[in-house]
Amino acid sequence: MPRVARKKSEEAIYHVMSRSISEVDLFLCDEDKDHYLALLKRYKEKFYCKVYGYILMSNHVHIFINPCGADISSFMLCLNTAYVAYFNKKYDRHGHLFQGRFASTIVDNDTYALKLSAYIHNNAKDLPGYTDKEESYRYSSYGVYTGYRKDVDEIVDTEFILGLLSQDKRRAQQKYRAFVESMKGVSIIEEVGENIAEAYTSNEYRGEKSYVVRSRAPGEIVQMIERMLGEKIIEKLRAKYRRETSQIRAFVTYILRVLCGYTYKMICKYIGNMSMSGISRLTNEGFRLLKEQIIYQNVFNSLIQVQG
């Protein structure tokens, strides 16, 4: 039977769940969970996404994510593939770790977003020792939402959900904790009653869901970068083995991947004279340059188009 096409939208935010195959857990120790979070942070930054919530359980993961226009399948493929490579190498195993495709649901309104966040964070109640202490679970974003701990992993963006409750952060944290408590035992498929939602959600503010336009034509992107940097790029982009052009090649390759939605194969064809492994290395180098050099940060910020 053919697989059902996944529902996607440039403006959508998603609830994503990945589950392990039945005979093995995803995480066998805290080190595994730490590594998964490090990967989540890496690909969140690399794809320029926002993570609104997460929890790591023994055999599955919940992620509440705004891809900001990025392809959710590409994001999850990179994240899960990288984790499987780590897991299989560490435990000297081969083959699949995740149970088929990840599951995803589009979150299409603020009430559902608030309820979903509470559902994800309440998962910790099923872990030994964390019943009624859910916010103390290290591998959940709940503690960050309530102010119980700092976001040392620098992964979660709490502004959207807390902004639904109050513009005052401390008050929003208090209301959020109360809301999550009130949602214990409520099925994710049930609707939150209007009276419950109104008791916690202020009417004067709504968090803005934004996305980044990622369907720009490569030629258009290259021309914009040329204007901003004041130099011709296309020749340097396609020049082979020239050290002085390596940085700009790396940066533009990363941009083609992130803002044009190009696969490694498509980038190979556009640039020429490069293997897919070479393109992969260039993309990673471009991401490093973006994080470390202000000139590329300024160019990137000028290229992205955020829409409400």
Q: What is the CATH number of the domain that holds 258?
A: 1.10.1750
Number of domains into which the chain is organized: 2
Counting as low any pLDDT under 50, the low residues of the chain are: 1-5, 189, 191-208, 306-308
* pTM for the whole structure: 0.77
Residues 181 and 222 in one domain: no
Q: What is the rounded radius of gyration, in angstroms, for the C-alpha atoms of the chain?
A: 21
- Does residue 235 sit within a domain? yes
Residues 30 and 139 in one domain: yes
Residue-number span of the structural domain to which 170 is assigned: 13-200
- Does residue 30 sit within a domain? yes
Phi-psi region of 132 (alpha: psi -120 to 50; beta: other; left: phi over 0): left
Using the 3D structure, point to which of 200, 223, 257 is the last residue of a domain. 200
Residues 143 and 248 in one domain: no
- Going by their DSSP bridges, the two strands 50-56 and 60-66 should be labelled as antiparallel
pLDDT at 205: 35
Residues 41 and 179 in one domain: yes
pLDDT at 199: 42
pLDDT at 50: 95
Tell me the C-alpha to C-alpha distance, in Å, between residue 295 and each of 11, 133, 182: 29, 45, 48
- Does residue 207 sit within a domain? no
Residues 237 and 195 in one domain: no
- Give the CATH number for residue 21: 3.30.70.1290
Positive or negative, the Cα torsion across 124, 113, 201, 147? positive
- Does residue 227 sit within a domain? yes
- Does residue 205 sit within a domain? no
* 151, 138 Cβ separation under 8 angstroms: no
Residues 45 and 143 in one domain: yes
Residues 171 and 294 in one domain: no
Residues 129 and 188 in one domain: yes
Residues 19 and 140 in one domain: yes
pLDDT at 241: 53
pLDDT at 3: 47
- Please tell me the distance from the alpha carbon of residue 154 to that of residue 254, in angstroms, as a whole number: 22
pLDDT at 239: 64
- Does residue 5 sit within a domain? no
